[in-house]
Amino acid sequence: MTTPIQQNLVREPTPRGLAMVRTRTVIGIEAIPVEVEVHLANGLPGFSTVGLPETAVRESKDRVRGALINSGFEFPAKRITVNLAPADLPKSGGRFDLPIAIGILLASGQLAAETIEQCELVGELALDGSLRPVFGTLPTAISSAAQGRTLIVPQGNAAEASLAGASAACHATHLLGVCAHLAGLAALPSCRNSHAVPARDRYPDMSDVKGQPQARRALELAAVGAHSLLMMGTPGSGKSMLANRLPGILPPLTRQQALETAAIRSVASGHLDMALWRQRPFRNPHHSASAVALVGGGSNPRPGEISLAHNGVLFLDELTEFSRATLEHLREPMESGSINIARAQRSVRYPAKFQLVAAYNPCPCGFYGDESERCDCSATQVRTYQHRLSGPLLDRIDIQLRLGRVDSRLLHGHQVDEESSAVIAARVVNARQLQLDRQGILNSELRGDALSRYCELDSATHAFLDTACQRLQLSARAYHRTLKLARSIADMEGALIISKAHVAEAVSYRSLDRPL
């Protein structure tokens, strides 16, 4: 028995039983156009899918058959061939269910849709014809809108697709709703742009941190120039507490940065918290995380923690408990701001412009160098423990800081009123604006000629830095990072010229390059 909608949808089949529907597949965070071509031919009934479909795509024939029949349509008793073009591009996931179903309806004459050329479709079908959300909707919606087409998505992806802009996408709950929209019978609702802007007070506040004035300054300095930070200290010295408050003193993400970060989350999990999409990410993986979990990978490469921390903070607590081989994977992304995951059939690039903050104890028991003299670790144990961090990794960390015990008298009530995150964030914004007005990028991103031009020193300061580097045996990389850090210290104070005092403070933050 046909429904009124189906009676209005039925048309004579096309002469060749051929239809084409546009969709996209996601590789990395790029949404690549895919044409779903459906051909119905005479012969023994069958269903074949070509164009490098992976298991979930090959299984779509069963989902599509069930969805069409349970929605009141006929499943053609013909030889059905579905071609996913381009043929050499791997296809994965259930996102092709909806375009395949619409293609079959068009090719069999059960649906006439003159506007199909202006639409793109993604969605997984349930056996009853309802639509289930898919991953990677945001980059798909952005790319579709850039081509001037309307994207049709499941209702579960509506909020995410709305980030691409007004009227860029519409959403449906069922296959019949999509058919009615394409036939011009009942328009689907647009994905409304109703996402929330996060408040700064969702981050822990710096006023909670008592004492540790040098660590507070180092954290502010890290925020000013987007510098990496490593803290070594005894248990309870405030390392984790400080790290968790860094996002609260960073400037808000721009819309473009937020969209790029949200696109990575969309690809990684298929779920995007719309209340938090404008917040800087703060990732804190456990020290048991594998290399794949940290940098990304898998047979179908997915982003790892460093990409999920893009434009935000990656906090590695108990750094020396991580596998040394796992930590070595951080070296190249820290320099390039991206990660290339190479596999036999493809190479995927993910952005990974993260700000590394790490913390660890000085020895296995954690109390080496503490005033209480509680440490009973031997010199060999201390040396072995600290050697879990390689020299090349330490060389890439701008600020290295030793934290001591917090005086318990500072913890009683409100004897000292510490600055709040809002006050510090205002200074950070001003210092960053100086950098952007002067050079267009942050100090940590300076390279080559730009580094020489904007970090120029007078002869006396140059001689001081050269002497310090020779005595401390700093590498060329450490030299340049010290220079960029000195530039950030000068910007914190609003100074145009880098002075010897600025360089001296920057050099003092290279204290962990060598073992205790």
Q: Is the pLDDT of residue 206 over 50?
A: yes
* 416-466 pLDDT per residue, tens: 678 899 999 999 999 999 999 999 999 999 998 999 999 999 999 999 999
Residue 329 and residue 339: Cα distance in Å, rounded? 10
CB of 331 closer than 8 Å to CB of 395: no
- In 452-501, beta strands by DSSP E: none
Residue 416 half-sphere exposure toward CB, CA atoms < 13 A: 15
Regarding beta strands 355-360 and 124-125, do their DSSP bridges make them parallel or antiparallel, or are they unpaired? unpaired
pLDDT of 343 above 80: no
Interatomic CA distance for residues 142 and 349, integer angstroms: 18
Mean pLDDT for the chain overall = 89
**Percent of the chain residues topping a pLDDT of 70:** 92
pLDDT tens-digit profile of 315-338? Answer: 999 999 999 999 999 999 999 999
Please state, in angstroms and rounded to a whole number, the distance separating the CA atoms of residues 415 and 411: 8
Q: Tens digit of pLDDT for each residue in 387-405?
A: 889 989 999 999 999 998 8
Q: What pTM value is reported for the model?
A: 0.88
pLDDT for 14 beyond 50: no
Q: Which two tokens stand for residue 9?
A: 């949808």
Contact 445, 226 (CB under 8 A): yes
What is the spatial distance between Cα 172 and Cα 155, in angstroms, rounded to a whole number? 5
CB-CB contact of 314 with 305 (8 Å): yes
DSSP for 394-411, written as a single string: HHT-SEEEEE-PPPGGGG
CATH of domain 200-441: 3.40.50.300
* Number of residues that make up the chain: 516
What is the model's pLDDT at position 515? 47
Q: Which regions of the chain carry the CATH code 3.40.50.300?
A: 200-441
In the CATH scheme, what is the code of domain 4-182? 3.30.230.10
Buried (b) or exposed (e) across 259-293, using 16+ Cβ within 10 A? bbbbbbbbbbebebeeeebbbbbbbebeeebebeb
| Model confidence pLDDT, tens digit, residues 485-502 | 999 999 999 999 999 999
Confidence of residue 275 (pLDDT cuts 50, 70, 90): confident
Q: How far apart are CA 36 and CA 21, in angstroms?
A: 5
What is residue 134's predicted lDDT score, i.e. its pLDDT?
A: 94
The radius of gyration computed from the CA coordinates of the chain, to the nearest angstrom, equals: 28
Reported as a pLDDT band with limits 50, 70 and 90, residue 199 is very low
Task: Output the pLDDT for position 346.
Answer: 76
Question: CATH 3.30.230.10 occupies which residues in the chain?
Answer: 4-182
3-state secondary structure of 188: coil
- For residue 166, is pLDDT > 70? no
Whole-number percent of the chain with pLDDT over 90: 71
